[in-house]
Structure formats: structure tokens, C-alpha cells
Amino acid sequence: MPNKELVDYIEKEMRKGIHVDRVRETLYEVGHRIEHVDEAIDHIKKRRKRKNFTIIFSAAFVFLLLIAFSFVALYMTNDEKTDIEDTSPGDSVTKDNYYYSEAFKTGDISYCDNIIEGNLKARCMSIEKEVVVPLSEEKKADMDFFQTALEEKDAALCDKIKRESLKESCYKFVDTNS
């Protein structure tokens, strides 16, 4: 076991920025035995290596935890935009209706980017100015009638829509795709 006072002195000098070799030489010059000085320096180096290892290991562990939590968060996030294939029939008209409806309900026109039919896509891009979030029950009902009318290609359901601009869009789209 190295001399504690010698270890403390060497560490104090190194914290001041004095290189270990210069500290070693000074201690030899004032009469300390070579083996005692070298033992104290080796002890300090081993302790620093353990400390550095602990810091690096801890940082790596935290990094891996962050990555793991990120993957869990991504996995558990239910993004409705990607669920369309699972929740609606495969024809593009129904998917277009779904995206239009979601854009209208949420005010998020990024849904419009997924619409294939040009006229509906253009109408979708313009709804951002009309949408006030959260939607009233009346607007939600209008969107449900709109979506059902398009899915069933039934213009009679368009009659139930109270909002005139949406009712007109409904008629146009049902007539176009009938």
C-alpha cells in the first residue's frame, strides 16, 4: 500500500497542472525512494483508470437506455396515418376519403399529401383555412356523412351535411366516382 501523504501530494501537484514526470523527479531529488514514488504514481494511475472506466461505462449505459426508450416510444406510438391499410378497404377512393376526413377533423393538411384524386386533393389543401380545432359535434357529423357517402357512393347522404361547401364537395366527388 502506497504512502497516503505521498499519494495526496502527487495528486495535488498534478491538479495544478504539473506533469507526473516532473513531480516524480522533484520527489527523487528531495530524497524519496524510487519504489515508494513509483508505487504512489501507479496507485494514482490505476485509480484514474477505474474512475474513467466508470464514467465511460455509465455514459454508455445511459446512451443505451435512451436508445431503448426511443425504440419503445416509436413502437408504442400509434400513428393513424400509417394505419389506413389496416382500417379501411384497399381502393384508393376510400383511402382518399379517409385522408380527407382526417385532414378535416384535425386541421393537419399533411394528410392531403396522401390523396391520389386531384380535385379532392386540391379541396383538401384548402380546408386548413376553414378548420377550427377542436371540431364541433356538427362538423364531426358532417365529416362522417361525407365519408360514408363517398364510401357507399350514395349522394343521398350528402343531403344530411349541413355545411354547404362540404356538401358541394360531397356531391361532386360522389358524382365523379359513381
Regarding whether 100 and 29 lie in a shared domain, the answer is no
Residue ranges making up the domain that contains 149: 80-176
Of 1, 105, 109, which Cα lies nearest the Cα of 47? 1
- Look at residue 106 in the predicted model and tell me its pLDDT: 76
Looking at residue 76, what is its pLDDT? 66
Same domain, 159 and 125: yes
Query: 37-51, 65-79, 91-105, 122-136: which range is least confident on average?
Result: 122-136
89 shares its domain with 166:
yes
Whose grid coordinates read 380527407?
A: 100
pLDDT (tens digit per residue) in 108-148: 788 888 888 888 888 888 775 554 456 678 888 888 888 88
Co-location of 153 and 111 in the same domain: yes
Note the Cα 20 to chain centre separation in Å: 47
Q: Length of the chain in residues, anyone?
A: 178
Structural domain count, the chain: 2
Domain boundary among 42, 76, 110: 76
Examine the fold and report which residue of 31, 47, 76 is the final residue of a domain before the chain moves on: 76
Residue 107 has pLDDT above 80, yes or no: no
DSSP letters of 129-154?
Answer: GT--SSPPHHHHHHHHHHHHHHHHT-
Q: Is residue 61 a contact partner of residue 72, using CB atoms and an 8 Å limit?
A: no
Task: Write down the pTM of the prediction.
Answer: 0.34
Over residues 20-24, mean pLDDT: 92
Q: Which of 9-18, 38-47, 128-137 comes out lowest in average pLDDT?
A: 128-137
Say yes or no: 71 and 91 in one domain: no
Query: Do residues 92 and 68 share a domain?
Result: no
Using pLDDT thresholds of 50, 70 and 90, give the confidence band for residue 42.
very high
Residue 29 and residue 14 share a domain: yes
**Residues 87 and 158 both lie in one domain:** yes
Cis amide prior to 89 (ω within 30 degrees): no
